[in-house]
Amino acid sequence: AKRSGRNDIAVYDAKLHETYLERQQIEADLRKAAQSREFFLVYQPIFCVKSARVCGYEALLRWQSPVRGIVSPNEFIPVAEETGIIEEIGSWVIRKACKDAAALPEHTTIAVNVSPVQFRSRAFVSVVTRALQDSRINPNRLEIEITEGVMIGDAGEALKILRALKALGVRISLDDFGTGYSSFSYISAFPFDKIKIDQSFVRDLGQRSESLAIIRAVSGMCSSLGIVSTAEGVETEQQFEILRTEHCDTMQGYLFGKPVALNELNVSNADRVAA
């Protein structure tokens, strides 16, 4: 059947315009949110296989909007990046996570996600430096999670920033490994302390033999290079058993705990730092 091309275009235009307006509105709301403290952090435990205990937490950003309710970072981070608002939000995340880390056991790390735009911003290293000084936490408790997106473009510049962070004593994790343009040249050229195997590989563990092969290869590569391996999105005992057999060092996922507010974390009294 023939369709009216004209109508299709009209429908398409209306959709496009709607999306544009929606983005404009999100941007306006985000600017307000950054000023009126509508953001908060939740923490998800990271389980260490060898010691069989929680050895860290990942800070995950949430936006409690008065008009939108709780908005997922997957929805607003891209808008925040495109508009540059991410610098302000991201700086707040680092300061807040370091402050919260001071209330958590000394043996635990705090991982913070840093977007490529934030990473390359001029103030980034000084924001981290200040947050460490103000919170007085041991710098090696802070883990900066970056994605391959950070290395795209001026790799020399990215390496300079990573070296400056390492000089502070901070640890560097490569997040979502296997989803982007993962390249062995990055892994040998950049000083990563940890590689986080993307949850898509864990999810497919039972169904696709390729996923098991990839996890095995990445885990083997990590142990040869002295890099800690983490599996993300671990939800079942079965996945846990397979990943343990494959020598994944640490794991994260709903099996160990969902992300929750700092005061809801189940930190044992023996571990809790006297307030």
| Interacting residues toward ligand C2E by CB under 6 A | 44, 60-61, 72-74, 77, 90, 93, 113-115, 175-176, 199, 233-235, 252-254, 259
Q: Mask 162-181, x = binds Ca ion (CB under 5 A)?
A: -------------xx-----
Residue 143 binds Ca ion, judged by CB under 5 A: no
Distance CA 187, CA 153 (A): 16
Residue 29 binds Ca ion, judged by CB under 5 A: no
C-beta of 232: minimal distance to ligand C2E in Å? 6
**Which partner in Ca ion, ligand C2E, none is near 20 (CB below 5 to 8 A by kind)?**
none
**Which partner in ligand C2E, Ca ion, none is near 227 (CB below 5 to 8 A by kind)?**
none
Span interacting with Ca ion, options 1-9, 16-24, 42-50, 228-236, rule CB under 5 A: 228-236
Residue 148 binds Ca ion, judged by CB under 5 A: no
Which residue, 29 or 232, has its beta carbon nearer to Ca ion? Answer: 232
Which of 57, 64, 63 minimizes the C-alpha distance to 77? Answer: 63
**Amino acid in position 245:** T
Which residue, 6 or 113, has its beta carbon nearer to ligand C2E? Answer: 113
Distance CA 51, CA 34 (A): 39
Distance CA 55, CA 134 (A): 23
Which residue, 28 or 204, has its beta carbon nearer to Ca ion? Answer: 204
Distant-in-sequence, close-in-space partners of 13: CB < 8 Å, separation ≥ 6: none
Distance CA 123, CA 168 (A): 15
Sign of the C-alpha dihedral computed for residues 236, 237, 239 and 244 taken in this order: positive
179 burial type by CB count under 10 A (0-12 exposed, 13-18 middle, 19+ buried)? middle
Binding site for Ca ion (CB under 5 A): 113, 145, 175-176, 232
